[in-house]
Structure 1
Amino acid sequence: MNTELRIPSVADWDAWLGCLELAFGGVPLTPESREMYATLSRPDRSLGHWDGSECVGTAGAYPFRVTVPGGAAVPAAGVTMVSVAATHRRQGLLTSMMRRQLDDVRSWGEPIAVLKASEPAIYGRFGYGAATPETALRIDTDRVRLALPPGTDRVRLRRASPGGALDACEAVYARLAAGRPGTPVRQPGWEKMPVNDPAAHREGGSPLICVLAERDGEVTGYVTYRVRPAWEEAGPRGTVAVRDLAALDPASYAALWRFLFGIDLTSAVECGNRPADDAVLQLVSDVRRCEVRLRDGLYVRLVDLPAALQARRYRAPVDVVLEVEDAFCPWNTGRWRLTGDAEGVASCRPTEDPADLVLSVRELGAAYLGGVSLSTLASAGLVREERPGAVAEAALAFSWDVAPWCPHEF
């Protein structure tokens, strides 16, 4: 490897971004997207590999705060824009960037790193575990009906421009973020990302449309979507493509879904990223006609293991000794006694006591937000139980009452 790894300068930005564009298919970013990334990116938190004057590798890390079980917003590195030029594969560039980046994240005092993987096979070897599932839906609205809770008819819906409704929508997002592990608390500037709407990204659909739900004069929910018209010999077969939908109460939530089901000249509603426990799956008359597809969402990497485990709460009292293997961040390797519950402050300290559970940092990252059971990981042979009953005890403690979810793209 005869390349130089360094933080890109302002003058390097275009070459750095050009390397990223080429790695993701060579289609240039729209001017709107380039401007947004230039505004949100932090050069001092970015890395580039340079072969002479050519940028051949990129990686970035946004400063985030991510909700964890119990409601705390934990500082996190939002890993993004990772690429290696096709001409420089299998030369260790990615490994060196991940090594340097995790060292940097630790120095920044951020206990965890999170990412959304373009390919799921890449990041496990660096200690990232798939922690939040997400659900994609395509609902046949010609044949599926909704069961509506009391109060749905009292919800007022009104159209609003996506930009003009931004403050109201962000207020709803902020209230919901605190109750859903895996959800990033929106940082300044990021509120514009959900309404970024370049024409090149519409795939034949309309510009982004926003509808607000209101109860007693208060905005209690919103949906942003576009319509993709289509026609067959028998008539219209348009699709409603939902970008974001959020609501503070069941009636507002159901009112927004009922609205989407009733849009003229359409016969399907598509959602690319919904939580695994999305309530709409309990409202529909026929879940088989919703084409539910589950996939990996947010990946979590514990960078400072004791700080990360102490930041969250636990559903049941736990007192367990974890023997953790972490070849990539050896400061996490060893035995740790974890104690905690739903109310008190957790403790995670080094110990010489015998291990109750043996696992790698990847499995601990997968279980961290409460969406992947340690019992499931043990059944797969990825967690070893040394004390009888320890898996069941820890699995209950790490679980949470809502599925973790990351609706925030980065």
Structure 2
Amino acid sequence: MDIRKLTTDDFEACMTLSEYAFQFVLNEEQLEKRREEFASHNVLGVYENGQVGAKLQIIPFQTYIQGRSFAMGGIAGVATWPEYRRKGWVAGLLKFALEEMNRNKQSISFLHPFSFAFYRKYGWETYVEFKNYKLSTDQLPAKKATPGTLRRSNPELSVLKEIYDTYAERYNGTLSRNDSWWENSVYAKKGSQRAVYYDEAGLPQGYVLYEVKERKFTIGEMVHLNEEARQGLWTFIANHDSMIDEVTLKAPANDTLAFQLDNPRIQQEVTPYFMARIVSVEQFISQYPFASQDSPVQIQLEVEDAHAPWNEGVWELNVAMNGTASIWKKGELTKEDQHAQHIRLNIQSLTAVLMGYRRPAEMARIDRIQGSEEDIQALEKAIPVRQTYLMDFF
């Protein structure tokens, strides 16, 4: 298998494959934007008879985890020509991609799967889901007077960024967006209309990106930093009641909209969304801010990772009282380790736990991790509780 890093000379071949595999056609302007993005991505391909037969790209992102920014490799555009499928090429590309991300210190990776089962085989695991809401106008939150002001306009990007960054840091797995991502992904895909809620002091506290068309109010993104801003934004939306019949939006999985309605029997659906994978146990945990402890914690982790051998083995994790962690690899499991207390888990389970998507005690109950009750509880207390969320797509 001839795997190579692709260059801009391979752009046309890659786009032809993407258009075929994902069944879309781009115009000249869109192709030019893709060409610019291509140059900044790490694109890998399998060559067969001098042609690109399969490819994927690693997009460099930053993601918030426990309020801290982590370097993340976003896997996207995985595609193979039909005549070359089932040759193990994607497996080879994913393994090569893991090596690339490890070298580039991208300690975590996200992707949007065509099949959750397929990517679980290579170490990725579900890390986030969201709620889909659909409300008729008579189900909307009651209009309520708020002390602030709602301005429907074209606000400066810096205003939306300030609100978004404050909001995104409250979750695990949100993107830290740069200006280019705002312009080419957020603005381009989430609705041309924008409204910002300002409090009495004139400080921006929330915004909504939306589209009103064919009597539908489609919310591309709704962000609020406090309850006042939430109420102000919903009152603005409800004031469209003569123009619309329904409102649709996505929200975090723990969103409480239904509970706050007079009639909570609204249409809502929980949808599994993206997957995550720890690329480097050592790099990731060394950055990870654990919860403060009454006393230092020491836990041994026996990690299984067939596709990233640098993660496989027994690790000693030490968490200081201030939540700072140190970790080092003890090597393969020895006879002494087999009799010592430690937690056994694969890279998928470790990812789900440290991303905050699942708790250690819950994972132990369903036999996704094994260990003593004492060690499981120590890990449970060490990992801060924080909801996962992702508002973007790639």
TM (norm. structure 2) is 0.89
Match of 1:284 in 2: 261
The structure 1 residue matched to 2:148, chosen from 142, 155, 179, is 155
List alignment gaps of at least 5 residues for structure 2: none
- Residue 227 (structure 2) pairs with residue 250 (structure 1): yes
Partner of 1:153, secondary structure, is coil
CA deviation string 1:68-104 (max 9, x = no partner): 11x2101111111112222221101100110111101
Q: Secondary structure at the match of 1:91?
A: coil
Cα deviations by residue, 1:95-152 (Å, 9 ceiling, x for unpaired): 011011110111112211122223322211111111122221112332343486xxx5
- Equivalent of 2:367 in 371, 381, 403: 381
Distance in 1 (CA, whole Å) between partners of 2:251 and 2:298 is 34
Deviations 1:267-288 (A, max 9, x none): 22111x4211224344222332
Could you say what secondary structure the match of 2:251 adopts? strand
Query: Which of 244, 248, 266 is the aligned partner of 1:266?
Result: 244
SS at match of 2:63: strand
1:391 aligns with 2:376: yes
| Structure 1 residue 188: Cα displacement | 4.3
Pair 1:226–1:188, CA change in 2 (3 A): closer
Gaps of 5+ in 1: 230-237
1:348-379 CA-partner distances (Å, limit 9, x unpaired): 22246524211100111111221212223222
Q: Is the 8 A contact 1:144 1:286 kept in 2?
A: no
Q: Which residue of structure 1 lines up, in the alignment, with residue 120 of structure 2?
A: 124
What displacement does 1:307 show? 1.7
Mapped partners of 1:44, 1:256: distance in 2:
37
Q: Distance in 2 between matches of 1:221 and 1:345?
A: 33
Q: Does 1:213 align with 2:209?
A: no
Query: Aligned-pair RMSD on alpha carbons?
Result: 2.3
Q: State whether residues 172 and 355 of structure 2, in contact with CA within 8 Å, keep that contact through their aligned partners in structure 1.
A: yes
Could you tell me which residue of structure 1 aligns to residue 166 of structure 2?
Answer: 175
Match of 2:181 in 1: 190
Distance (Å, rounded) in 2 between the aligned partners of 1:30 and 1:282: 45
Contact 1:58 1:81 in 2 (8 A): yes
Would you say 1:349 and 2:340 are equivalent positions?
no
> Aligned with 1:266: secondary structure?
coil
Partner letter of residue 245 of structure 2? S
SS of the aligned residue for 2:15 comes to: helix
* CA–CA distance in structure 1, aligned partners of residues 309 and 19 of structure 2: 34
Shift of 1:251: 0.6
Going from structure 1 to structure 2, the CA distance change for 1:23 and 1:388 (only over 3 Å counts) comes to same
Query: Would the aligned equivalents of 1:147 and 1:285 in 2 still touch at CA under 8 Å?
Result: no
- Hey, what's the Cα distance between the residues in 1 that align with 2:298 and 2:132? 37
The residue that corresponds to 1:61 in the other structure is 58
Letter in structure 2 aligned against 1:143:
Q
| 1:63 partner SS | strand
Distance 1:41 1:283, change over 3 A: farther
User: Hey, what's the Cα distance between the residues in 2 that align with 1:340 and 1:287?
Assistant: 43
Using the alignment, how far apart are the partners of 1:82 and 1:92 within structure 2?
13
Q: Give the aligned residue type for 1:158.
A: R
Q: Is the CA contact 2:194–2:209 (under 8 Å) kept in the aligned structure 1?
A: yes
CA–CA distance in structure 2, aligned partners of residues 32 and 288 of structure 1:
45
Alpha-carbon offset, residue 9 of structure 1 = 2.2
Instruction: Between 244-253 and 391-400, report the one with greater CA deviation.
Output: 391-400
For 1:269-348, list aligned pairs within 5 A.
269-271=247-249, 273-289=250-266, 291-315=267-291, 317=293, 318-340=297-319, 343-348=322-327
Count of residue correspondences: 381
Verify the 8 A CA contact 1:313 1:342 in the aligned structure 2.
no
In 2 relative to 1, CA 367–251 (structure 1 residues): closer, same or farther, beyond 3 Å? same
Q: Within 2, Cα distance between the matches of 1:17 and 1:43? A: 15
Helix, strand or coil at the partner of 2:358: coil
Residues 34, 220 of structure 1: alpha-carbon distance in 2 compared, 3 angstrom cutoff: farther
Q: Secondary structure at the match of 2:322?
A: coil
Q: 1:253 to 1:294 in 2, by over 3 A?
A: same
Report the secondary structure of 1:41's partner residue: helix
Q: CA deviation at 1:322?
A: 1.2
**1:7–1:43 CA contact under 8 A, matched in 2:** no
Alpha-carbon distance in structure 2 between the residues aligned to 1:189 and 1:342 = 40
Distance of 1:406 and 1:44 partners within structure 2: 21
1:223 alignment partner in structure 2: 208
Contact 1:7 1:44 in 2 (8 A): no
Is the 8 Å Cα contact of residues 205 and 229 (structure 2) preserved in structure 1? Answer: yes
The residue identity in structure 1 corresponding to 2:13 is: A
Structure 1 residue 33: Cα displacement: 4.0
Deviation, structure 1 residue 250 = 1.6
Q: Which runs of 4+ in 1 moved over 6 A?
A: none
Asked if 1:48 corresponds to 2:45, the answer is yes
Separation in 2, partners of 1:143, 1:65:
37
